[in-house]
Structure 1
């Protein structure tokens, strides 16, 4: 079967300044709640990029994976703790392009990879080509490669990178090729190796590094990858040695940084951290900052936008109250607790990971209990987020918060943290709390979309925050610590500072100075738009990374 999207095709004539053909590879895309091919921030970012590329009429396509079971569905055990469910997804709004390519993988000379299209008119993004190995003619193991996003089996993970990279590159070839190949993170690294062998020049390679976390920068045994077909052909021992780092390993990030003509980090601070992090490796160009951003049209509530534009405190308050009540219906349904729209509502919502410190309030239980029982300045706190399904430390933090909050009427832990709930939490919160250990949050885009909707950031000064923050004017920021201090000391100090700012600045302003609070809210929106919208980011990629 062949359709109009089996060749490079857009529903518009690309704008002249964006006519360079760009293929953008990402392991996950958060385009819409219903298309469950994302896990979190990386996907939300990629989805916003594809929406903005469409709005700006850019000549770009997205290359991703069609995950049969998605990431996972977050549910609860009988005692309310976390349960991971894997439910098959079917997408009737996707179309088979008729493009099928073959990729040699391990001892299989020809794993079939089929491309499905998400057409632009469905969700308002550039054409998205999603790859599946669940194809007739493939053996059972090959068919399961595209089952689970970030599969915990190491061999499957390697296979996923090969399918996205080499399979994706071959699909782009079938579409007529691209002028630029952009890897969003190192997952699709095999694309660069394959394309280089096809004569594609270094000037056509761009790379974005997203994380200073070691686990986010994959590193695997070079000979093992060679056996798997990672490089598109079997490299000789001498060729392999040229790619190796760290005693016989291939570091996906180092390899991509070496092969790309230009690379970027995702905030100004992250660029400093990244350049320092990779400076010991030769052949790497300077990593430039292009700060992550999110799509305003998708993430900002229309009524909030109108209230901000007219600077109407009444319209804003009325809308915020309505949005809080909608969020509190979710809280009531999930936890059987009734929250009050007149009480300040603090939300911590993102991927659960140890360094993000979801449980920071609990580091000082005595002070936390006082905060929870303060009748003068009452608070409500909501946590939400998905840990990786095999990150047992993060799952334990999630479950500990569930158990701690069970019998406390003003605490709630929600499940199902996907795009819809993320939106509702940003719409309905007063404070967006961000507590990572400093230098470890590359960007932190959830704070931007919260700010779009009048939720005030209370954050560590990390990621995008240093580019935005005016403490007490558009957000609240914890004092910056020396990140080289022992972790225990950092945790203790950050926790004390969090309580200090909440008790002495945030709560008195919210309850005693509503006009001042309103000013902070509106300043937050004004200082986020347009600077932290993905239309700015998508334009910057063409100007600085693809030029």
Structure 2
């Protein structure tokens, strides 16, 4: 029997963080070797688990053990994006000895909890759930095969496994004081708890919720009758589930229900908090929505040699280390594309999840101007794209393919595949400019720019997500002016493109080549500013102070106590 079949931490809990928290997330980006993540949501959750360990917090993570991960991104022979699903095996996971039963579509399904030990990657204990065990039939075993499966019934079943199965695993460990839903995928846990307690106020005292996106695709809606047939509401009858969640129509919105079933909620940047309140405060019965800005685990992401040069104020060592880091990235470029990039050339990187609103191809809006830009010999540039589209977002895949085809025979433009944690780290270390081009205000946070800044890359960015809290044009970043968001999308794109190219041509590139002292000053200021404000230790501490320890809020965001109101500001 494993010692991990009880609430266990390998350290003495810091008394500031004694509240027992179970953190539920559909994905965790903890290490390259554990492929149970797709992008930013997972990276954020992984950093949170690392910093919770560093701070000795009384927390565990609850997630899914995906047999095929998300997907493996490849390059086909005709220079298009390929998708592969390969079985994953992890020798470092341990059987917790915990096995629980959930009901899906009226039938029993067994869920086993595997443990990621804290000393493996430096996280709090992680309990990863799988249905791929002999006790289940083939269909039940496939529930934990693929992260974000395109079949809606499978997605619903995954939420039941994470929410209800995860809640039962936590109960087998002795229970928690707070259940934190990182996005609403784990929502069935609220109905499970209500079925056990039959007291909505008591349930809400134990649940907190983080919403991560203003995008419709990130706020799941399903037919409520289908959810009921699938046993999404656990032991709670449909009409009672309608009543406690305030859902009276045919469509059931996960995010709205989570806001009604939590004591408090938060967005993931100050701007996203405002956007979320505008989105949801018109609905009856929802909790207060605060804002806790996302952050990233500094020891994992930051290059220590680069930081040492900053600490010594040694510009020569800083420049040499940055060149070494660029060479590390360029080895990958050469391996994947056959192109030899130069460390003395300004290198611009656009790398993140491919989605329409992120505008990966904004640089190509005027293809003639783009070609002129990449063809200059007096102030040359190198451009790299990387990122994974959702495997069934064919529009995003087509953008990726178009970029790949455009780059094929151009020696200073590359598109890389396999955007996972190791490549992500190399891209941030090797970039001079970290380009970020979402349509404002649709990027909730955009944490990649934080880890880029930690590694000497200057953010050149739309003023969305976390950026308004950090960036000062010409001091620690370059900023694209704010566009009128009431304009049609294509007009916004034209305006943002013109501003972006003007600043690139007139400020960014000339500063790098003609005033390198000023360039280094911006790099150093960004590295100083990004930590500790955007290190995950701050975030992990703030969740305890402002979310887990917060009092109950009244419906529609009005806090019960004056203390809660003051914390929100």
TM-score, normalised via structure 1 length = 0.98
Asked if the contact 2:292–2:543 (Cα under 8 Å) also holds between the matched residues in 1, the reply is yes
* 1:497-516 aligned within 5 A: 497-516=499-518
Q: Residue 259 in 1 paired to residue 261 in 2?
A: yes
Structure 1 residues 29 and 527 mapped into 2: Cα distance closer, same or farther (>3 Å)? Answer: same
Q: CA deviation at 1:430?
A: 0.2
Q: Residue 28 in 1 paired to residue 30 in 2?
A: no
Q: Residue 113 in 1 paired to residue 115 in 2?
A: no
Unaligned runs of 5+ in 1: none
What's the CA shift string for 1:450-496, capped at 9, x where partnerless? Answer: 00001000000000000001100000010001112100000111111
Aligned mates of 1:431, 1:129 — CA distance in 2 = 38
Aligned mates of 1:40, 1:239 — CA distance in 2 = 32
What's the CA shift string for 1:93-148, capped at 9, x where partnerless? Answer: 0000110000011031x200000000000000000000000011201100000000
Q: CA deviation at 1:198?
A: 2.0
Single out whichever of 364-373 and 395-404 deviates more from structure 2. Answer: 364-373
**Alignment match, 1:18:** 17
Q: CA deviation at 1:237?
A: 3.0
Local SS of the residue matching 1:13: coil
Q: Residue 123 in 1 paired to residue 121 in 2?
A: yes
* 1:115-264 aligned within 5 A: 115-199=113-197, 201-237=203-239, 239-240=241-242, 243=245, 245=247, 247-264=249-266
Match among 333, 336, 349 for residue 335 of structure 2: 333
* 1:456-535 aligned within 5 A: 456-535=458-537
What's the CA shift string for 1:491-540, capped at 9, x where partnerless? Answer: 11111111001001101111001110000000001110000000000000
**Alignment match, 2:543:** 541
Match among 266, 271, 274 for residue 272 of structure 1: 274
What's the CA shift string for 1:43-72, capped at 9, x where partnerless? Answer: 000000000000000000000000000000
What's the CA shift string for 1:155-199, capped at 9, x where partnerless? Answer: 000000000000000000000000100000000000111112222
Local SS of the residue matching 1:386: coil
What's the CA shift string for 1:206-258, capped at 9, x where partnerless? Answer: 10000000000001111110111111125143543553548321111001111
Structure 1 segments of 4+ aligned residues over 6 angstroms from their partners: none
Aligned mates of 2:314, 2:248 — CA distance in 1 = 58
Aligned mates of 1:291, 1:8 — CA distance in 2 = 29
Asked if the contact 1:226–1:234 (Cα under 8 Å) also holds between the matched residues in 2, the reply is no
Q: CA deviation at 1:432?
A: 0.3
**Alignment match, 1:454:** 456
Single out whichever of 19-28 and 272-281 deviates more from structure 2. Answer: 272-281
Asked if the contact 1:257–1:263 (Cα under 8 Å) also holds between the matched residues in 2, the reply is yes
How many residue pairs match? The answer is 545
Local SS of the residue matching 1:297: helix
Aligned mates of 1:259, 1:301 — CA distance in 2 = 41
* 1:436-455 aligned within 5 A: 436-455=438-457
Asked if the contact 1:49–1:294 (Cα under 8 Å) also holds between the matched residues in 2, the reply is yes
Asked if the contact 2:245–2:260 (Cα under 8 Å) also holds between the matched residues in 1, the reply is no
Q: CA deviation at 1:331?
A: 0.3
**Alignment match, 1:39:** 38
Asked if the contact 1:313–1:518 (Cα under 8 Å) also holds between the matched residues in 2, the reply is yes
Q: Residue 347 in 1 paired to residue 349 in 2?
A: yes
Local SS of the residue matching 1:345: strand
* 1:392-411 aligned within 5 A: 392-411=394-413
Asked if the contact 1:303–1:319 (Cα under 8 Å) also holds between the matched residues in 2, the reply is yes
Single out whichever of 169-178 and 374-383 deviates more from structure 2. Answer: 374-383
Aligned mates of 1:75, 1:227 — CA distance in 2 = 38
Aligned mates of 2:503, 2:247 — CA distance in 1 = 45
Aligned mates of 1:287, 1:310 — CA distance in 2 = 42
